[in-house]
């Protein structure tokens, strides 16, 4: 246990720099202090905690990560960013290098009317009213150690705000790039997305790690969806092989709003996604879509919680996993239907495809229902490539390997096809095919 205690000290030291106060951002200091106190109290979760039963974060706790500094920004070229930016498809780009905002690499000068995007640090500094109203209000920093840690020592992130009644045509791309550094570092990206009444916006949060980078990204995103608004949010995670990623996202849906949260996990060594949705206004519709493809020693844990607090809301959870090597996938979905939330329609699906002898899946699809006039279902399947389908394809002259690839691709495609941003969907499609043997051969028809 000694090392764990020591490591809390690492973060306490990181916290020190905020404690002196005297800055324009002092209004946020009480929240930081409360969160730090909570983190100190909670410590890192262990597998004895029901919510962390299948995910051991000791490897994160063991390493004394350093605070990332801004110097890494200079090492990143515009060409590197261009390759990842999907610049043609997006209406705005915010680039963060090792958690720090890189103004020069970002494209935020010609945003559509009604859209505001920028750095959180600056917004906190200037005491932005919207940030003051929402920052830290939608994420649970009381029981969630990692969210508390983020709140306590967050440095920067993206703030995206859409005024009421605006339809933003092109998606906003928030790119978090982590580079290889001398010693392992930690960053606490924090995003706040506030969408006004009857507006519409698409946000892509993209986490990419460069080869050889070793770091821990502890990200938190809060999304506030105004009444009647439509939000499409993508979390694309392609962290480096040696990276740890804990991502917490919380969506609050207002009346008659519609939010979709996609979680696409490909990279990282140890990844945990906490996705929470609070259906706070009647008639809200929430979709949580997820796909992960992992191999080797990778570990991905998707923890979902959909809270139906009011009547007449719909929710859909659709998570798929493809596991190879000695990878370990975890799914825990919880649908909570509160006492008054009548006429709720909730559906949860979790499907996993096990492709190797040593891969492992743990699934906990849960329902908690306190209202009677509801329709709730959940389903979980775990299996391998269907022998009959394989035989059928082979009988049509497709080689065994290609047939297998085709079936795996088809399995993933169901999730990928839910991605509405063409550039992103094509990019992921290509990534998927690149992973499959003979995948390129049926690229055309796809």
Partner 1 sequence: MSESGSTIDQWAESEYKYGFVTDIEADAVPAGLNEDVIRVISAKKGEPEFMLEWRLKAYRHWLTMTEPTWANVKYPAIDYQQIVYYSAPKQNKDAPKSLDEVDPELLRTYEKLGIPLEERAKLAGVAVDAVFDSVSVATTFREKLAELDIIFCPFSEAVKEHPELVRKYLGSVVPTGDNFFSALNSAVFTDGSFVYIPKGVKCPMELSTYFRINAASTGQFERTLIIADEGADVSYLEGCTAPMRDENQLHAAVVELVALDDASIKYSTVQNWYPGDKEGKGGIYNFVTKRGKCQGRNSHISWTQVETGSSITWKYPGCILLGDNSVGEFYSVAMANNYQQADTGTKMIHIGKNTRSTIISKGISAGHGQNTYRGGVRINSGATDARNFTQCDSMLIGDQCGAHTFPYIEVKNKTAQMEHEATTSKIGEDQLFYMMQRGISMEDAVSMIVNGFCKEVFRELPMEFAVEAQKLLEVSLEGSVG
Instruction: Determine how β-strand 270-279 pairs with β-strand 285-294.
Output: unpaired
166 and 114 Cβ atoms separated by less than 8 Å: yes
- Choice between 148 and 354, CB closer to partner 1: 354
Per-residue binder mask for partner 1 (CB under 8 A), 107-146, x = binder: ----------------------------------------
Tell which one of 58, 64, 130, 369 touches partner 1 (CB under 8 A). Answer: 369
The sign of the CA dihedral 299, 58, 262, 121 is negative
**Is residue 132 exposed (0-12), middle (13-18) or buried (19+ Cβ within 10 Å)?**
middle
Structure tokens at 401: 């390997």
Tell which one of 4, 29, 355, 423 touches partner 1 (CB under 8 A). Answer: 355
Exposure letters 392-423 (e unless 16+ CB within 10 A, then b): ebeeeebeeebbbbbbbbebbbebbeebebeb
- Choice between 93 and 337, CB closer to partner 1: 337
255 and 282 Cβ atoms separated by less than 8 Å: yes
Question: Using CB under 8 A, which of the segments 188-196, 204-212, 251-259, 377-385 binds partner 1?
Answer: 377-385
Smallest gap, in angstroms, from Cβ of residue 386 to partner 1?
A: 10
HSE (side-chain half, CA atoms, 13 Å) at 51 = 16
- Choice between 55 and 119, CB closer to partner 1: 55
Quick check: 358 binds partner 1 (CB under 8 A)? yes
Rounded Cα gap, residues 155 and 139, in angstroms: 17
Rounded Cα gap, residues 192 and 103, in angstroms: 18
Quick check: 390 binds partner 1 (CB under 8 A)? no
> Residue count at the site for partner 1 (CB under 8 A)?
36
Per-residue binder mask for partner 1 (CB under 8 A), 335-354, x = binder: ----x--x---------x-x
- Choice between 180 and 349, CB closer to partner 1: 349
| Cα–Cα distances in angstroms (integers) from residue 86 to residues 201, 205, 332, 415, in the given order | 17, 12, 32, 21
Q: Which residues contact 118 (CB under 8 A, 6 or more apart)?
A: 94, 108, 158, 159
- Choice between 58 and 376, CB closer to partner 1: 376
Rounded Cα gap, residues 86 and 46, in angstroms: 39
Rounded Cα gap, residues 135 and 125, in angstroms: 13
Question: Using CB under 8 A, which of the segments 2-10, 25-33, 177-185, 363-371 binds partner 1?
Answer: 363-371
Tell which one of 127, 212, 383, 437 touches partner 1 (CB under 8 A). Answer: 383
Site residues for partner 1, 45-84, by CB under 8 A, read 50, 54
Smallest gap, in angstroms, from Cβ of residue 316 to partner 1?
A: 15
| Cα–Cα distances in angstroms (integers) from residue 415 to residues 34, 177, 206, 223, 290, in the given order | 39, 25, 17, 22, 7
How many Å is the Cα radius of gyration of the chain?
Answer: 21
- Choice between 139 and 348, CB closer to partner 1: 348
Quick check: 104 binds partner 1 (CB under 8 A)? no
Quick check: 268 binds partner 1 (CB under 8 A)? no
Smallest gap, in angstroms, from Cβ of residue 1 to partner 1?
A: 21
174 and 158 Cβ atoms separated by less than 8 Å: yes
Quick check: 415 binds partner 1 (CB under 8 A)? no
Question: Using CB under 8 A, which of the segments 11-19, 60-68, 371-379, 432-440 binds partner 1?
Answer: 371-379
Smallest gap, in angstroms, from Cβ of residue 412 to partner 1?
A: 17
Quick check: 364 binds partner 1 (CB under 8 A)? yes
Quick check: 381 binds partner 1 (CB under 8 A)? yes
- At which residue do the structure tokens 């649908």 appear? 335
Smallest gap, in angstroms, from Cβ of residue 264 to partner 1?
A: 22
Q: Name the residues that contact partner 1, by CB under 8 A.
A: 50, 54, 339, 342, 352, 354-384
């Amino acid at each position: 246990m000694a090392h764990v205690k020591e490591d809390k000290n690492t973060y306490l030291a990181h916290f020190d720099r905020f404690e002196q106060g005297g800055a324009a951002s002092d209004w946020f200091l009480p929240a930081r202090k409360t969160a730090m106190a909570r983190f100190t109290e909670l410590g890192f979760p262990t597998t004895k905690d029901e919510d962390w039963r299948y995910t051991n974060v000791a490897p994160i706790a063991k390493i004394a990560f350093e605070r990332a500094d801004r110097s890494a920004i200079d090492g990143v070229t515009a060409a590197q960013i261009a390759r990842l930016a999907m610049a043609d498809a997006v209406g705005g780009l915010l680039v963060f290098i090792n958690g720090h905002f890189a103004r020069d690499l970002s494209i935020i000068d010609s945003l559509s009317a009604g859209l505001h995007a920028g750095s959180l640090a600056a917004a906190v500094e200037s005491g932005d009213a919207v940030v003051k109203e929402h920052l830290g209000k939608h994420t649970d920093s009381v029981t969630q150690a990692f969210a508390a840690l983020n709140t306590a020592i967050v440095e920067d992130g993206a703030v995206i705000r859409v005024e009421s009644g605006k339809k933003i045509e092109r998606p906003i791309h928030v790119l978090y790039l982590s580079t290889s550094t001398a010693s392992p570092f930690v960053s606490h990206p924090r995003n706040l997305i506030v969408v006004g009444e009857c507006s519409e916006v698409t946000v892509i949060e993209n986490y990419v790690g460069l080869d050889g980078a070793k770091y821990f990204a502890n990200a938190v995103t809060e999304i506030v969806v105004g009444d009647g608004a439509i939000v499409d949010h993508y979390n694309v995670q392609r962290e480096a092989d040696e990276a740890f990623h804990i991502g917490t996202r919380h969506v609050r849906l207002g009346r008659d709003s519609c939010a979709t949260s996609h979680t696409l996990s490909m990279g990282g060594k140890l990844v945990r996604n906490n996705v929470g949705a609070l259906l706070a206004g009647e008639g809200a519709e929430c979709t949580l879509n997820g796909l992960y493809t992992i191999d080797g020693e990778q570990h991905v844990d998707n923890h979902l919680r959909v809270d139906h607090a009011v009547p007449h809301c719909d929710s859909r959870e659709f998570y798929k996993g493809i596991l190879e090597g000695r990878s370990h996938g975890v799914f825990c979905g919880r649908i909570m239907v509160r006492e008054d939330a009548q006429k709720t329609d909730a559906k949860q699906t979790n499907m996993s495809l096990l492709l190797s002898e040593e891969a492992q899946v743990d699934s906990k699809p849960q329902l908690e229902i306190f209202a009677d006039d509801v329709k709730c279902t959940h389903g979980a399947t775990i299996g391998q490539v269907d022998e009959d389908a394989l035989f059928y394809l082979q009988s049509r002259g497709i080689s065994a390997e290609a047939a297998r690839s085709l079936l795996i691709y088809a399995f993933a495609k169901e999730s990928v096809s839910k991605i509405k941003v063409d550039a992103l969907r094509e990019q992921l499609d290509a990534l998927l095919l690149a992973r499959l043997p003979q995948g390129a051969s049926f690229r055309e028809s796809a």
